[in-house]
Structures are given as C-alpha cells and as structure tokens.
C-alpha cells in the first residue's frame, strides 16, 4: 500500500510543479514581508542548495504577532483599528513534520544538504504522519528545497480528508507563469500552495556529508563527532553549526511564515531535524543549552496553536479517529465536524 501511495504522491509532485494563477500568486506575495538582514526574496523563491552564514550572532526575538479567525474571511480593518483588531484575533494551526527516514538515514550516513529521497520506511512514516493530521486544517504548505521533505509533505497530504491538491509555486520566467495559469476558480479552491525555501534546508554538514557516522566517530573520536553534531555554535569542517542554521531558518519563519499565521492561514512545514529544532527553539523560547538536547522523531507531526501572538504547543496528534487533539480548541473541533458533515 505504501508503495502505491508513494507513486501517487510522487506523481502529484511531478505533475503539479507549476504556478498558481498569477492572481493567487500575487495574493500570497501580498501577505508576506521582505526579509531584513540582507535577504530579499518572494514566497516563490526556491533554490536547491544551502546557506552558510558568515556571522554567528543569533538572538531569539519574542513573537508579538497575532492573527485573524481561521474560519472567518480575513477583513482589512481601518488603520485606526488595526492594532485593536489584531489583539482580538483568534487562532491558527501550525504543524511541523520532520521528513521520514531517507535512504542515507537508513545507511547511517551524514546527509545534510545532499538531496536524498525517502526510504521505504520513510514513505510509510510520511503516510502515517498524514493520517495523524488528516482532520487538522492546512491552507499553505512550506517545505525545504530538498526532495525528502517535499515527498513527506506530498505523501502526508494524500491522507488528508479535505482532499485538496498540493500545487508547487516556482520562481519561473514570465512565459512559464503564463503557461501554468489555472483558469478555474473552483479548481483553485481545491488546491493548496506549496512553497519551497532553501532556508528550511537541513544543516549543511560540510566535509562530513556522505560519510558513515560510525566510521567518522572511529576516525575523529566519539567526543569530537558528538561536538560537531550536538553543540550549538561549533560547526563541522566547512559546514554549519546549529546556530548558523537557526539564523536562516528562524529569519525565514518570522518574515515569511508568521505573517501567514497572522492572516489566519493554517500552515504545515515539512523540513528537517535541525531547521525544525531551530524553529522550535524560537517557538518555545528555548536556550542554546536546551535546544541541543531536543530530539525530533522522523515522521511525527507536532501541533502548535498560534493565538494572540503566542505559540502554544499541543503535542503530536495520535490518530484521526481520536478526539483528543481536536478538544484542544473549539476551532479544531468545528473544523473536524465540518469535515464529518462534508464527507457523510
């Protein structure tokens, strides 16, 4: 069964790699802001690669944003009432998923920014993750530029009860955008934009990439390799430290993803162990010492509720048939009820 769904999802990834209608693309752009600190890009920016920062200064900035209702249309308040409206805003869901096991995870190799697909077990983990979030609203999907994260997102969405189709947004030429327009409003309503961002890539492991982890420990010593893998500010040779990874991942989250939550969009992020640890450090206000002991399992979704400018961790949904996760908020319970009614 896993292999069948895998082929379906990969087919979706290949056959739907086109842009939305330019009006929808413009709508997404209008809800985002430009990165400061030297970065300028749009939601559609995608690059297969990895960013290494030359600076190691990183400060966790507390969230102060809020959002509008998940179910009500986003209303544009007058300038005089904008601040007050945000204070009274409701909630949005944020789902974080670390990709399933990759072929190099299976072989115990350092992977980093090398673009390696999921293993058979990883496909099964992604499908299981999708079942766990199948009754939680998803309006926008963010993935890294690496195929294992994209496969995880696509496979997970094959299990969602809403049955919307993920459509990848690219930064392409004017000709490609013209060719890829969608002319059906009904079809667009049944689509979910997927935004790829290299800033969400795994930490770049430099000269360790492709090496066997056990053989590397034997060569350099267990303590040295542990320091490279688990310290906050010490990078492997010609690679990134967790601190450097956090600089790009958290900056992207704050400037591109948080505004989506602010506008009432429910967001899913499919990414990697270190980029997600960096984001969780920001969400949970962890110290550099606390984050190095944080472990994330592959294919296990983590749910947060973004409400009144605060991120509230709700844990991992157990299964779509169990009501516990939906009882966390009235909004999630209402959404699940609407799905039940729609699918009866």
Q: Which of 194, 95, 192 is nearest to 144 (CA)?
A: 194
Output the pLDDT for position 279. Answer: 98
Angle of helix 222-230 relative to helix 213-220, nearest 10 degrees? Answer: 120
How far apart are the C-alpha atoms of 99 and 286, rounded to whole Å? 22
Residue that wins the pLDDT comparison between 328 and 92: 92
Output the pLDDT for position 320. Answer: 62
Output the pLDDT for position 326. Answer: 76
Residue 272 has pLDDT above 60, yes or no: yes
Output the pLDDT for position 177. Answer: 84
Q: Which residues contact 262 (CB under 8 A, 6 or more apart)?
A: 65, 66, 67, 68, 86
- pLDDT tens digits along 217-268: 999 999 999 999 999 999 999 999 999 999 999 999 999 999 999 999 999 9
SS3 of the chain: CHHHHHHHHHHHHHHCCCCCCHHHHHHHHHCCCCCCCCCCCCCCCCCCCCCCCCCCCCCCCCCCCCCCCCCCCCCCCCHHHHHHHHHCCCEEEEEEEECCCEHHHHCCECCCCCCCCECHHHHHHHHHHHHHCCCCCCCEEEECCCHHHHHHHHHHHCCCCCCCEEEEECCCCHHHHHHCCCCCHHHHHCEEEEEECHHHCCCCCHHHCCCEHHHHHHHHCHHHHHHHHHCCCCCCCCCCCHHHHHHHHHHHHHHHHHHHHHCCCCEEEEECHHHHHHHHHHHHCCCHHHHCCCCCCCCCCEEEEEECCEEEEEECCCCCCCCHHHHHCHHHHHHHHHHHHHHC
The lowest-confidence range among 87-91, 95-99, 236-240 is 87-91
The annotation places the binding site for substrate at 98-105, 111-112, 148, 202-205, 213, 229-230, 273-274
Q: Under a CB-based contact definition with an 8 Å cutoff, are residues 305 and 283 in contact?
A: no
Output the pLDDT for position 319. Answer: 66
* pLDDT cut 90: percent of the chain above it: 59
Q: Under a CB-based contact definition with an 8 Å cutoff, are residues 308 and 90 in contact?
A: no
Active site residue 99: yes
Tell me what the pLDDT averaged over the chain comes to.
Answer: 79
Residue that wins the pLDDT comparison between 189 and 324: 189
Residue 85 has pLDDT above 50, yes or no: no
- Domains of the chain (ranges plus CATH)? 7-64+84-342 (3.40.50.1240)
Output the pLDDT for position 171. Answer: 82
Strand order, beta sheet including 140-143 = 165-169, 191-196, 140-143, 267-271, 91-98, 302-307, 310-315
Output the pLDDT for position 180. Answer: 87
If you average pLDDT over residues 88-111, what whole number do you get? 92
Active site residue 202: yes
Residue 124 has pLDDT above 90, yes or no: yes
Residue that wins the pLDDT comparison between 69 and 95: 95
Phi-psi region of 111 (alpha: psi -120 to 50; beta: other; left: phi over 0): alpha
The annotation places the binding site at 98-105, 111-112, 148, 202-205, 213, 229-230, 273-274
Q: Which of 151, 139, 156, 255 is nearest to 193 (CA)?
A: 139
How far apart are the C-alpha atoms of 191 and 200, rounded to whole Å? 22
CA of 334: how far to CAs of 60, 84, 222, 323, in Å?
A: 34, 26, 51, 12
Confidence band, pLDDT 50/70/90 cuts, at residue 88: very low
Catalytic residue among 91, 128, 202, 240: 202
- pLDDT tens digits along 288-333: 999 998 989 999 999 999 998 899 998 888 766 666 777 778 898 8
Confidence band, pLDDT 50/70/90 cuts, at residue 170: confident
Catalytic residue among 25, 99, 160, 272: 99
If you average pLDDT over residues 40-49, what whole number do you get? 36
Output the pLDDT for position 89. Answer: 54
Residue 184 has pLDDT above 60, yes or no: yes
Residue 32 has pLDDT above 80, yes or no: no
Confidence band, pLDDT 50/70/90 cuts, at residue 187: very high
If you average pLDDT over residues 26-30, what whole number do you get? 40
């Amino acid at each position: 069964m896993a292999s069948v769904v895998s082929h379906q999802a990969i087919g979706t990834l290949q056959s739907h790699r086109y842009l939305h209608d330019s009006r929808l693309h413009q709508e997404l752009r209008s809800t985002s802001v430009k990165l400061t600190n030297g970065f300028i890009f749009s939601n559609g920016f995608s690059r297969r690669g990895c960013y290494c920062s030359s600076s190691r200064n990183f400060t966790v900035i507390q969230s102060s944003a809020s959002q509008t209702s998940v179910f009500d249309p986003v209303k544009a308040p007058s300038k005089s009432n904008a601040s007050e409206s945000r204070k009274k805003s409701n909630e949005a869901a944020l789902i974080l998923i670390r990709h399933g096991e990759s072929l190099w995870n299976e072989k115990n190799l350092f992977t980093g920014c090398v673009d390696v697909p999921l293993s058979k077990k990883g496909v099964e983990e992604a499908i299981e993750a999708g079942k766990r979030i199948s009754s939680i609203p998803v309006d926008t999907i963010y993935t890294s530029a690496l195929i294992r994260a994209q496969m995880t997102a696509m496979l997970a969405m094959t299990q969602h009860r809403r049955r919307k189709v993920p459509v990848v947004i690219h930064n392409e030429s004017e000709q490609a955008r013209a060719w890829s327009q969608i002319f059906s409003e009904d079809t667009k309503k049944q689509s979910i934009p997927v935004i790829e961002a290299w800033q969400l890539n795994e930490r770049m492991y430099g000269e360790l990439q492709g090496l066997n982890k056990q053989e590397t420990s034997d060569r350099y010593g267990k303590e040295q390799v542990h320091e490279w893998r688990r310290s906050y500010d010490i990078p492997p040779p010609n690679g990134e430290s967790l601190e450097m990874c956090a600089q790009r991942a958290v900056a992207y989250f704050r400037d591109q993803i948080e505004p989506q939550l602010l506008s009432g969009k429910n967001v899913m992020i499919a990414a990697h162990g270190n980029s997600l640890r960096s984001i969780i450090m920001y969400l949970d206000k962890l110290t550099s010492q606390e984050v190095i002991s944080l472990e994330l399992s592959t294919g296990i979704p983590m749910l947060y509720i973004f409400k009144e400018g605060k991120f509230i961790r709700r844990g991992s949904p157990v299964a779509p048939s169990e009501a516990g996760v939906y009882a966390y908020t009235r909004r999630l319970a209402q959404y699940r009820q609407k799905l039940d009614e729609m699918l009866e």
